[in-house]
Amino acid sequence: MSRTRVLMLNWLVPVAAVVAWEGFGRAGILPQYLATPSLIVGALWEVAQTGELALALGVSLYRVALGFVMGTVTGVLAGLGAGLMPGLRNFFDPIVAFLFSVPKIAFLPVFLLLFGLGHASTISIIAFSGFFPVFVACRHSIMSVNPVLIWTARNMGTPPRTVFFRVIIPAAAPQLFAGIRIGLAHAFVVLFAAELIGSKAGIGVLISYGEEWARYDLMFAGIACFAFLGFMSDRILIAVRRRVLRGHIIGTEEQGVR
Amino acid sequence: MIAKARALLVRWYSIPLLLLVWLVSVEGGLTESRLLPSPLRVWAVLVEDVGNGTLVYHAYVTITRALTGFVLAAVVGIPFAALMARSATWRNLFEPIFFLGYPIPKIALYPIFVYAFGIGAPSKIAFTFLECLYPIVVTCYFGFRAIQTRLIWTAQNFGASRITVLRRVVLPSALPSVFSGLRVALPISIIVVVITEMIGDSIGLGYYIEVSGIRFTFENVYAAIVVIGVCGFLLDRLLMLFRRRIVYWQKGESPLRA
């Protein structure tokens, strides 16, 4: 198959969907809640000019970034501890095994009461939810480092510190990044739910305003922003990983990334 | 015997320890007992609401929705992934949608699902279907692509028909990836249903949590969390049981996946 044909096929479905959406919307066939793409772009422009968009984006980005960083740092630290020390592993394993499949958003009422409706409750629940995938990935990646590598390094008289930084960490890094990536995805899901359920600012609120006032173009504009934010942060994480893991061959071909 | 009990204690000590700390700090008046009800109260509420059927009913609603969406996603997603893996046209048509759409937080689309399918079970099931479809298709796709071509050639050489090749070669070699895709998607289905129920519904565990949080009866919130945890754990065990039955030639069970 030629390159142009592949490219054409790649773009066929998305472009056809948007064209059909716009066309059917103008013809009045679609239900009212499906605002056409041109209207959505108009709404985006509108909120961008009033400054609402920048504010909402700023608030959401601030929350998700801080929560994600907090969850990742604690997850990595606890995961390192659990991977290296059996005592800590025995402490964390049962708790994580139980809480892993519980939707962390279920704790939202508790966090809301603890930290109020503002930033703190959203940030802390994002961190709480991001902790688990990062912890599990970190713990498993440390445990699955080939012991031969560690023995070899020790045999050559490498001090423990160097073994840790030059052998264990690089060997565990690809799997760790996979966990961090899942944590990032969780962060956005929790952000959205937390902003819809208990918050007064951010993109989630933009979406629910659009819903309440039947401004469907505004609702879609919020959805588009949210999707864009999630997509771009994932891309940034992938770019960072490519930088950090330069030269790694095994384990960098992660699923779902091109 | 004693050694076994000792091993069990070392492995699981943290949960009783945490419960004890929780109990002592609440009963000793160190924390606000409204915010953090004593585990005894949680247990009492759990026994009561499971006994009178309230929690059983809500759990039944939530799990039914989650499993319906999950099964639909598996039924559609697995053949679709096979098709994408074996046909270049289909691959070029749909690959961008799945691979570029993968990191987009799909929860943002939930309001549209509410408009299209109403606020009850259909919108939740449809949304769960979408959320589960992505991990299932992406993981299975890699499984179907990773089949060694020489196995297929060998089968064809022996005169196997297309159907036989599919049934006896392609499917068995892709099954482990199919199961890991399903295992990623299963907790997602529960999480998504609980979140959407928290955003808006009048039945289900998500609703139960949301309403108990508003009423400040946090012992009910914790009781529901325990129920979700137990359900998630049991469903995961069930899936692994199926896996061991169907993929009987692969002995080692993959560890808890992030």
- pLDDT of A258 above 80: no
- Is the pLDDT confidence value at B123 over 90? yes
Question: Is the same domain home to A23 and A99?
Answer: no
A61 and A25 share a domain? Answer: no
Structural domain includes residue A167? yes
Q: Does B2 touch chain A (CB under 8 A)?
A: no
What is d(CA A128, CA A64) in angstroms, rounded to the nearest whole number? 12
Res B33: pLDDT = 67
* A160 and A137 within one domain: yes
Distance CA B33, CA A122 (A): 23
Same domain, A222 and A185: yes
Confidence check: pLDDT of A250 > 60: no
How close does chain B come to A193, measured CA to CA in Å?
A: 7
Q: Residue B251 has what pLDDT?
A: 59
pLDDT at B36 over 80: no
Residues near B232 by beta carbon (within 8 Å), at least 6 away in sequence:
A100, A101, A102, B187, B190
Q: Tell whether A210 is covered by a domain.
A: yes
A128 lies in the same domain as A203: yes
Contact present, A219 and A210 (Cβ < 8 Å) = yes
Portion 154-213 of B in contact with A at CB < 8 A = 187, 190-191, 194-195, 198-199, 205-206, 209-210, 212-213
Please indicate, yes or no, whether residues A69 and A179 belong to a single structural domain of this protein: yes
Determine contact, residues A178/B258, Cβ cutoff 8 Å.
yes
Residues of A in contact with B10 (CB under 8 A): 90
Cβ neighbours, 10 Å, residue B159: 7
- The model's confidence at residue A127, banded by pLDDT at 50, 70 and 90, is very high
Contact A95 B14 (CB under 8 A): yes
User: In this predicted structure, what is the pLDDT of residue A249?
Assistant: 52
Boundaries of every domain in chain B: 38-246
Report the CATH number of the B38-246 domain.
Answer: 1.10.3720.10
Q: Which of B209, B212, B258 lies at the smallest CB-CB distance from A136?
A: B258
pLDDT in tens, A175-226: 888 889 889 988 998 898 888 877 778 888 888 888 888 888 888 898 889 8
What is the predicted pLDDT for the residue at A252?
42
Which residues, at least 6 apart from B55, have a Cβ–Cβ distance to it below 8 Å? Answer: B46, B49, B205, B208, B223, B224, B227
Q: Which one of B195, B205, B231 would you mutate to disrupt binding with A, by most A Cβ within 10 Å of its Cβ?
A: B195
For residue range B138-192, what is the model confidence (pLDDT) as tens digits?
889 988 888 888 888 899 899 888 888 888 888 888 888 899 889 889 988 998 9
Q: Do residue A105 and residue B109 have CB atoms under 8 angstroms apart?
A: no
Nearest of B64, B78, B197, B67 to residue B135 by alpha carbon: B78
A115 in any annotated domain = yes
Enter the tokens of residue B32: 């606000």
Residue A217 lies in a domain: yes
Is residue A252 situated within a structural domain? no
Total tally of structural domains belonging to chain A? 2
Q: Is 0.85 exceeded by the ipTM? A: no
pLDDT above 70: percentage of residues in chain B: 95
Give yes or no for residue A255 having a pLDDT over 50: no
- Residue A257 in any domain: the answer is no
Residues A4-43 have pLDDT tens digits of 888 888 888 888 888 888 888 888 888 878 888 888 888 8
Same domain, A110 and A71: yes
DSSP state of B168: I
CA distances from A139 to A126, A248, B130, B180 (A): 20, 20, 30, 19
Q: Are residues A15 and A102 in the same domain?
A: no
Same domain, A128 and A216: yes
- Tell me what pLDDT residue B163 has: 86
pLDDT number for residue B169: 87
The tokens describing B62, both together, are: 């939530």
Question: What is the nearest CA distance from B150 to chain A, expressed in angstroms?
Answer: 23
Torsion A209-A185-B118-A16 (CA) sign: positive
For the cut 90, the answer to whether the pLDDT of residue A64 exceeds it is yes
Which amino acid type is present at position A182? I
Instruction: Answer yes or no: is A55 within a domain.
Output: yes
**Residue among A11, A102, A234, A241 with most chain B CBs within 10 A, to mutate:** A102
B232 to chain A: which residues are within 8 Å by CB? 100-102
Contact at CB, A256 and B255, closer than 8 angstroms: no
Average pLDDT score, chain A: 85
Q: Span B36-48, mean pLDDT?
A: 88
Same structural domain, A81 and A194? yes
Cβ contact B198–A178 (<8 Å): no
Q: Which positions in chain B touch A136 (Cβ < 8 Å)? A: 256-258
Side chain identity at B163, as an amino acid letter?
Answer: I
Question: Could you tell me if A123 and A203 lie in one domain?
Answer: yes
Cα A207 to Cα A234: distance, rounded to the nearest angstrom? 22
pLDDT at position A251 is 45
Question: Which residue range forms the structural domain that includes residue A83?
Answer: 36-244
Of residues B52 and B14, the one with the higher pLDDT is B52
B83-116 residue pLDDT tens: 998 888 888 888 888 888 888 888 888 888 888 8
Same domain assignment for residues A110 and A147: yes
Give, in degrees to the nearest 5, the angle at Cα B96 between A248 and A1: 95
Q: Which residues of B touch A34 (CB under 8 A)?
A: 112, 115
- Residue A257: band (very low, low, confident or very high) from pLDDT cuts 50, 70, 90: very low
CA-closest candidate to residue A191, choices A78, A71, A88 = A71
Average pLDDT value for residue range B201-221: 88
Q: Which residues of A touch B229 (CB under 8 A)?
A: 98-99, 101-102
Residue A234 domain flag: yes
Q: Is the pLDDT of residue B11 over 80?
A: no
Phi and psi at A113, nearest 5°, equal -70, -35
CATH number at residue A154: 1.10.3720.10
